[in-house]
Structure 1
Amino acid sequence: MTGELERLARRFQGHEPGLLGASRSYAVLCPLVEGEDGLRLLFEVRSSQVSQGGEVCFPGGRMEPGETPQDCALRETEEELSIPREAVTLLGTPDFICSQRGFLLRPVLGLVSQAGLQSLRPFPAEVAEAFTVPLAFFRETPPDLRRYELVPQVPEDFPYGPVGIPRDYPWSHGWVEIPIWRYQGRAIWGMTARLVREIIR
């Protein structure tokens, strides 16, 4: 084997595939809790002191180098809600979201024990409040579905000639579907709602 082949083999043997060109990855915990009316999902509302303040989301954040989605989701949940990682039983990993902004969102499904729920204390700098919603609500209530188009903005100086394509080349467009649920005055939408839809499927 030549030196170049050896370098390629070292680079890709055992490589865990990710999103090509992704600059960052995030992980969230989709926390289930057991209530008298069955399973519920635990959500948090972002503090006004952070980006997208006031929006509903799952606990989570940016993955650190060498961190697994599970480790990140548990760490962020402990930091944001004071729920210790030993109070969460991991159940699996639903499908991830590839954002058009160039990052991966990796969900982790977990069951929070009653002791974990009792230890819940939102960190006020990041979380305004936490609340739960019955899974049955999402199953029984169709979301309000909206879509927006992803339109390519090709620069005027794109080298059509050297690339070998005409100026009226049919660049691919895309669509993003946004489910929206409204529950007791709160809107659960966007990527969070897409993860909810994946869970209830």
Structure 2
Amino acid sequence: MLEKIKRRIEKHQAQPIGEQRTFAVFLPLVKVDEEWHVLYEVRSNHISQPGETSFPGGAVEEGESFEEAAVRETMEELNVSKESIEVYGEIDFIFNQSHHIRCFVGELKHINPDQLQPNEEVASVFTIPLRYLKENEPEYHTVTLKTEYNHDFPFELISNGKKYKFGKRKHKVPFYRLPNQFLWGFTADFTHRFIEIISEDTNFLEGKNEK
């Protein structure tokens, strides 16, 4: 029996517990008036979270990698060719009990944001200069997440029953203050982490532009 358990555990590939939905997004860099910008989408009224700011991206489909999903979603949402998308690599990701979101960074080549004709999921697009994001960090505000339970929750199966003290989880949410636009939550998280990573480069800190 113990030998069977050992063999089974040796072969098992560890996975997160729960039913995480997997998503991939693309943080696109575009050149506007000889200056590098980050491009964002405004979600249309036809999809969830209408009016919110996001990066191109969506759910990872069966059989594709996170990067493939990010590229496919970018092509579909912005109506651009695969050849116009150059993926540089991946930055830090977001992972919790319900979501696993990976973020890829790259360039939209030979693209004029004003001439993009996105699909029905996108109400509009806008860009923010890298320099602005470097010089204006987000502000973080804390929210407290409390546990809610259904009327049939089996308190009799836990110690102290209804007097059990469920923990309250605090979560810091980033916000950028922008004129006429919203930028907060996961999209702001990825934006801020991206700026932190590239700001480790001395050339970027000094404002030098290599391309």
Question: Would the TM-score normalized by the shorter structure come out above 0.5?
Answer: yes
> In the alignment, is residue 34 of structure 1 matched against residue 39 of structure 2?
no
Q: Whole-Å Cα distance in 2 between the matches of residues 186 and 66 of structure 1?
A: 36
Q: Is 1:11 aligned with 2:12?
A: yes
Residue of structure 2 in register with 1:76 after alignment:
73
Do the aligned partners of residues 118 and 138 (structure 1) sit closer, same or farther apart at CA in structure 2, a change above 3 Å counting? Answer: closer
Q: Distance in 2 between matches of 1:74 and 1:48?
A: 23
Q: CA deviation at 1:115?
A: 4.5
Distance across 2 between alignment mates of 1:31 and 1:171: 41
CA distance in 2, matches of 1:99, 1:133: 28
- Distance in 2 between residues matched to 1:119 and 1:38, nearest whole Å: 17
SS at match of 1:180: strand
**2: distance between equivalents of 1:63 and 1:45?**
21
**Pair 1:116–1:21, CA change in 2 (3 A):** farther
3-state SS of paired residue (1:197)? helix
Q: Distance in 2 between matches of 1:36 and 1:169?
A: 59
Moved more, 48-57 or 180-189: 180-189
Q: Encode CA deviations 1:101-152: one digit per residue, 9 max, x unaligned.
A: x1111111111112586873200x2111111111221221232322211112
Q: Which residue is equivalent to 1:113?
A: 109
- TM-score normalised by L of structure 1: 0.83
Deviation for aligned residue 1:37: 5.4
State TM-score, norm by structure 2: 0.79
The answer to whether the aligner puts 1:52 opposite 2:49 as a matched pair is yes
- TM-aligned CA deviation for residue 170 of structure 1: 4.5
Question: Does residue 191 of the first structure (1) align with residue 192 of the second (2)?
Answer: no
* One-letter amino acid matched to 2:180: G
- For residues 24 and 197 of structure 1, the distance between their equivalents in structure 2, rounded to whole angstroms, comes to 23
Structure 2 unaligned blocks of 5 or more: 197-211
Aligned-residue offset at 1:68 = 1.1
Does residue 90 (structure 1) correspond to residue 87 (structure 2)? The answer is: yes
**Cα offsets for 1:59-90 (capped at 9, x unmatched):** 10000122211100000000100122222221
Counterpart for residue 40 of structure 2? 43
Q: Which residue pairs with 1:177 in the alignment?
A: 172
Judged with a 3 Å threshold, the aligned counterparts in structure 2 of structure 1 residues 54 and 115 are, in CA distance, closer, same or farther, namely closer
Select which of 137, 141, 148 maps to 2:136. 141
The root-mean-square deviation of aligned C-alpha atoms, in Å, is: 2.5
Mapped to 1, the partners of 2:3 and 2:107 lie a distance apart of 50
Instruction: Name whichever of 37-46 and 136-145 sits farther off.
Output: 136-145
CA contact (8 A) 2:20 2:100 kept: no
- Residue identity opposite 2:170 in structure 1: W
| Separation of aligned partners in 1, 2:89 and 2:104 | 6
